[in-house]
Every structure is written in structure tokens, then in C-alpha cells.
Chain A
């Protein structure tokens, strides 16, 4: 797991009050966190603050795993 993936998972788990234990980079983010796409936008807000990046809402198109979102973050750093 990359450092970004690790940090993202911890951030996501804390945001939605779930345990980060056992979450993998390839886990379905929505399922693991119990969120829908509107809630996922909230996560994006947290991501922008934590990683100091700007990610437009539409970048969630087709993103289902932590790995895919982490890649979007890394593209921008």
C-alpha cells in the first residue's frame, strides 16, 4: 500500500467513523464506508484539506476503490 493510500484510508475511516483496520486499497470505498455518492463528496472535501490538492467533483466518475482515488490525489501533488 502506498503512503497516499494509507493516509486516505485513515482519513476516510475517521470521517465516517468506521474502523480502518482491515481496509485495503482495493476495497470498494462506498461499501467499506457505507456511503453514497453525495456523501463521497464530503470525503473529497476532507481530502482536499488533508492533501492540499484540488479535485473537482466529477473526478469521482468511475472511482470505486481507495486506490483509484489515491491515484487522483497523487496526480495533483
Chain B
């Protein structure tokens, strides 16, 4: 890891990174089974200097922050990285826009940010162009096919050999804003978190100590790079450590394994949905194995668990469980899981096979992570302990010790861009109120129980968090998706109406309709194991996928609107409440 104490900006840190080991491989791009691009650190420097030189036509490094914004709307690829580096060197503030958002959502973000320059991939531009004023910013279209209409944008290669170069690095202080990151948002207007150079450098230091990388390590960049986790773990940190970042054009599962093997992937970050897909693959393999072989793998997994309980040992696990590891390329050291609640049972499953799933908790407003499981020892039931520099308090705790999580940290944003009122609500006396509710156990681990704004207050005055109940139904075989609501939230939200006869219910999508009765029975069984005030009283079976944000969180308000439009409360089917667990 580069020493960062004397460094004041990401531009400087990245400049040092590309100078340190010029010949090492920095970025690799793969399409299906073919490598389509490979850049050394020297190549990155070359390309980023050209980007910086060209951006100089529109970006004045001395202008106020809001007049030197450069937005990137691109899927994960090496040009994303070189564009970002070039933008930092040119003195721009970056606006990473989620390429997975709909064009209308992207337009809303760009309207709010109002950047000078937007670097955008051609197919994304085709959808976005009709929704924005192409003259309001300089749209630079990457990867445009010859003859493709540009709708007022300009074709751009970034690494054009004739383009002006700039080898300088704009001077920025730690307090200057490096990025305006728009949260994926579960509804409502876009909110841009202003993250400073100091925020990122502090986070890189604390995470770098916990999960160091080295030259020769390879990070597989799967989460969108605009996402806080990939921006830190799949861009800044690998480059600062001299490691390699691998991008793959498509995330189709059949190509993932090949890439992981070929590039000896050591680190990756995933959302829980992908972990589940991995698990299914292992399960299928074990199902196909002979009983003797299954027993052997199970025995080895238990042995591995015993040997590595206090501390992960990759050597032990890889030797004992080579066939399982081979499925992940054989070199995987850490899987960072973020973006949504991780089922503890799922994380444990991987740990047993010697693949540590690092569970953390963070929000865009506070950089990348606030708490993380340090794997000493492995625990899947919490989101870990605060990382260095994070002060964490539980405020307004209820009788059970659960209350809103407040944090103070050098990674907390400067505020919401152009939203002073929202900023005042979110940051109070230097403390960020996260809106999440949790408690801290005697070992200092944070347990999250839900989002404050999703909280349901029962007629009996009990606070209930739908996520808490959903966790109890996690991993039921045959359930594709499940989300818990209060009936009044969905069907009666008019102001002034009394909350009467409020009941909890689960929206369920099953993988196979034939499984419905078995699923219903299992949900009923688990439901009976819940405290009575947490039990659901009905099910609503739906056919469509639940709406999710780019980071795969269910969009609750939108789902509630859809349910209200398409279903009546009377459609709830009662769930068996009799008997005991």
C-alpha cells in the first residue's frame, strides 16, 4: 500500500500508483473467453494523460466545484478507470452515474448534477439522448460504431493519439470534493453525496490495513464501479497496491468461472443474489456426486471449519477443499458482500468451504464501510465492528437496546450536493444519522435490525422492522423473493385514517408454482417460531420480480404502489398461525 499520510488528493495518490510499478498489469478486459484489452500502469498513465489533456478544453481546474463536474455513465471497463483518473488530474470533480439505472433515472441525476462534461457509452446514450438537452453539457460518446447517430454528442476515444496531453496533476486539498455520488435511492429525488479526497484517502487507509492486497493479486470488478464498494475496492485500492483489476463485458454466469480461473482472481465484491447463485452451483455439483464423495466433502468442510475457526487460513482451506475452490478459480481469498442484508447461513456456507465472505455495513453518505467483520473470529450474524476512525453510537434505544445508528468518521461526506436542508437533517454536530436501526453486542459487533423509515409500529406499541422478519424467512427453499409489509402501508395510507387492524404480511414469489404448498408450510413453520407480534398473518403470492434498486435492495415504496394497483387486501391468503414451532 502506498503511504497516504503525505498525500492530499486522489489525483496525487493515483499518480504515485502509476509511477510505482509501470510495467505491472493494471487493467484487463475480457469478453466471453477472449482478452480484449490489457493495460500496464504505464498504459494507464498514458491514456489518463490524454483524457486529462482533452478534458482541459471544457474543465477549468480553478473554477468552483459545480462548474467542473465530469459525469461518467459507463459499464465496468478500463476506460471507466482511465477517464476517472484523467478527470482527477484535470481537476474535475467526478459524478459516477449508475449505468444500471433506467434512462429516465439517469436523466434525473444529470439534471440535478448539471455537469460540464458527460462521458457515456454509446448504447446508453441512445436511450438517454431523447430525455436530456444535449447542448446543456458536452456529451462525449465512447464506443460509438461508425455511422451511429450521435444525437448532439461527440464521438470520443479518450486515448486518441493526436489528442493534447496533460501530465500535470491539479492540486486539491483533502477537504475538496472528489466525487458527487448519487445514492441509488428507493424512490424520491436523487441525492448526491459530496465525498472529499480526505474521505476516500481515510477509507483506503483503514480498509488497506484490514484487507491488504499485493502485486499479483487480482480483483474481479463485478459490482458497478460507480457503486461505493467497487469504486474503493475495485478501483482505488487495487491500483494503490499495485494489483490487477479484471473487467468482464458480461456477467453471464457461464463466463465468470473461466475468468476467475484464468486470471487467478483473489478478491471480489458481490451482492447476496450472486452469492446465492454460486451456492446453487456448488449444491448442484454435490448433488451429482456419489454419496461417498459427498460425505468426504462434508467431512473436509467440517475439518476445515475446525482448523480455521479463529482465523481464516487460505492454505488449509484450499488444500482440503481443492475441488470446490477450483470452481472459483482456486485462488479466491476474500469475497466482500455488500449492498443488501446478507443471510448469515449463506455466509457460513462459504466460510465452511474456506471462502471468507466479508460482511460489512456502509452507506454512500459515509464512504464505503463503517463496520466490517474482521474474520477474527468469523461471524456471520453481525455486520462487524467499526473500522478504525469510526465512532458509532446507538441513540434513542428502545427497551431492547436497539436504536438509530449515528456515526462520526473521517469518511462521512461533506453533505448533499445543492441540498443544504437535507444536509442539516442528516449531519448533526458532526454526526451522521444513518437512518438504520441496530444494537451493539458485548463483543462490540453491530447488529442491524432494519431501516428506520421502514419501521412499523404495532397497535401494541412495538417497533417492528420488516427486514428483521424477512431474515427469519431467509433461505426457504423454493422462495425466489420475499418482502414483508404492514397491510396499512400498502392499502391505507391516507392521512388522518386510523391504523386499525394492522397486520403483517409477506409478498412472495416462488421459483416454481408447484412448490407453493411446501413453501407455504415452511413459512408457516418458521412464522410460528417468531415472537407473536412479529408474526405475519398472510401471504400475497406474486408472479413478477420485485422491483429493486441497482444495488439489489427491494424498492419498498414502489413495490407498495404496485401491490396497491394490482391487488386488493382481500387477496391475502391466511397463513397457519396455529401450533408451536
What residues of A have a CB within 8 angstroms of the CB of B480 in the complex?
Answer: 36
A30→B181 CA distance, assembly (Å): 32
Q: Is A26 an interface residue (CB 8 A)?
A: no
Distance of A42 from chain B, by nearest CB (Å): 6
The digit string for B530-558, where 1 denotes a CB below 8 A from any CB of A, is 00000000000001110000000000000
B99: chain A residues within 8 A (beta carbon): 58
- How many residue pairs link A and B with beta carbons under 8 A? The number is 42
Q: Digitize B225-253: 1 where CB-to-A-CB distance is under 8 Å, 0 elsewhere.
A: 00000000000000000000000011111
Assembled-state Cα–Cα distance A15/B273 (Å): 23
A37 at the interface (CB under 8 A from B): yes
Closest CB in chain A relative to B353 CB, distance in Å: 21
Q: A38-B273, A41-B251, A44-B252 are in contact. Are A62 and B102 (CB under 8 A)?
A: yes
Q: Say yes or no: A61 contacts B102, CB within 8 Å.
A: yes
| Chain A nearest Cβ from B504, distance in angstroms | 26
- A62 CA / B123 CA spacing, docked (Å): 14
How would residues 42 to 74 of chain A score, 1 for a CB under 8 Å from any chain B CB and 0 otherwise?
A: 101100000000001111011000000000000
Asked whether A38 and B100 contact (CB < 8 A) given A56-B123, A58-B75, the answer is no
Minimum CB distance partner of A46 in chain B: B252
B254: CB under 8 A from chain A? yes
Is the pair A45, B254 in contact by a Cβ cutoff of 8 Å? yes
Chain B 250-267 interface 0/1 with A at a Cβ cutoff of 8 Å (1 = within): 111110000000000000
Q: Is B277 an interface residue (CB 8 A)?
A: yes
- Please give the distance in Å from A58's CB to the nearest CB on chain B: 6
Interface size class of B (residues with CB under 8 A): 20 to 34
Contact B252 A45 (CB under 8 A): yes
Cβ of B560 under 8 Å from chain A: no
B124 interfacial contact with A, CB 8 Å: yes
Is the pair A57, B254 in contact by a Cβ cutoff of 8 Å?
no
**Alpha-carbon distance between A38 and B480 when the two chains are bound, in angstroms:** 12
Q: A38-B273, A38-B277 are in contact. Are A57 and B250 (CB under 8 A)?
A: yes
Q: Which of B100, B121, B277 contacts A61 (CB 8 A)?
A: B100
- A13-48 interface bits toward B, Cβ cutoff 8 Å, 1 = contact, 0 = none: 000000000000000001100001110011011000
**Bound form: Cα–Cα A63–B254 in Å:** 22
* B127 CB contacts on chain A under 8 angstroms: 61
Contact A38 to B253, CB < 8 A, known contacts A56-B123, A58-B99, A62-B102: yes
Min CB distance B276 to A, Å, is: 10
- Interface residue range, chain A: 10 to 19
Q: Contact partner of A57 among B126, B252, B545, CB < 8 A?
A: B252
- From residue B511, how far is it (CB to closest CB) to chain A in Å? 8
A30 CA / B542 CA spacing, docked (Å): 13
The answer to whether B124 and A58 touch across the interface, beta carbons within 8 angstroms, is: yes
Which of A30, A45, A61, A62 is within 8 Å of B250, CB to CB?
A: A45
Most buried by B among A45, A56, A75: A56
B446 to nearest A CB, angstroms? 30
Give the residues in chain A near B102, CB-CB below 8 Å: 61-62
Which of B75, B249, B252, B543 has a CB less than 8 Å from the CB of A42?
A: B252
Indicate with 1 or 0, residue by residue over B92-121, a CB within 8 angstroms of chain A CB atoms.
000000011011000000000000000001
Q: Known contacts A58-B100, A59-B123; is A44 also within 8 Å of B250 by CB?
A: yes
Distance in angstroms between the alpha carbons of A37 and B252 in the assembled complex: 11
Would you give the shortest CB distance from A48 to chain B, in whole angstroms?
8
Cβ B277 vs Cβ A56 within 8 A? no
Residues of B within 8 A of A31 (CB): 543
Cα-based distance from A75 to B121 in the complex (angstroms): 16
**How far is A58 from B102 in the complex, measured between Cα atoms in Å?**
9
Q: Which residue of B is nearest A39, CB measured?
A: B253
Contact string against A for B residues 124-139, beta-carbon threshold 8 Å, 1 for contact and 0 otherwise: 1011000000000000
A57-B249 Cα distance, complex, nearest whole Å: 8
**B254 neighbours in A (Cβ, 8 Å):** 42, 45
Out of B249, B273, B543, B545, name the residue touching A56 (CB < 8 Å): B249
CA distance A38 to B75 in the complex (A): 17
Minimum CB distance partner of A49 in chain B = B32
**1/0 contact string of B385-424 vs chain A (CB within 8 Å):** 0000000000000000000000000000000000000000
Judge whether A57 and B251 touch: CB under 8 Å: yes
Interfacial chain A residues near B103, Cβ < 8 Å:
61
Contact partners of B124 in chain A: CB under 8 A: 58
Which chain A residues border B273 with CB–CB below 8 Å? 38
What's the Cα separation between A31 and B127 when bound, in Å?
A: 25
As a 0/1 sequence over residues 543 to 578 of chain B, the CB contacts with chain A under 8 angstroms (1 = contact) are: 111000000000000000000000000000000000
Which residue of B121, B126, B251, B545 is within 8 Å of A36 (Cβ)? B545
Q: For the complex, what is the distance from the CA of A14 to the CA of B161, rounded to whole Å? A: 47
The digit string for B10-25, where 1 denotes a CB below 8 A from any CB of A, is: 0000000000000000
Q: Bound state CA distance, A61 and B249, in angstroms?
A: 16
Apart from A30-B544, A42-B253, A61-B100, 10 more pairs, CB < 8 Å = A31-B543, A41-B253, A42-B252, A45-B250, A45-B252, A45-B254, A57-B75, A57-B251, A57-B252, A58-B75
Hey, which bits of chain A sit against chain B, CB under 8 A?
30-31, 36-38, 41-42, 44-45, 56-59, 61-62, 75
Question: 21 A-B pairs, CB-CB below 8 angstroms?
Answer: A30-B545, A37-B545, A38-B253, A38-B273, A38-B277, A41-B253, A42-B252, A42-B254, A45-B252, A56-B121, A56-B249, A56-B250, A57-B75, A57-B250, A57-B252, A58-B75, A58-B100, A58-B123, A58-B124, A61-B100, A62-B102
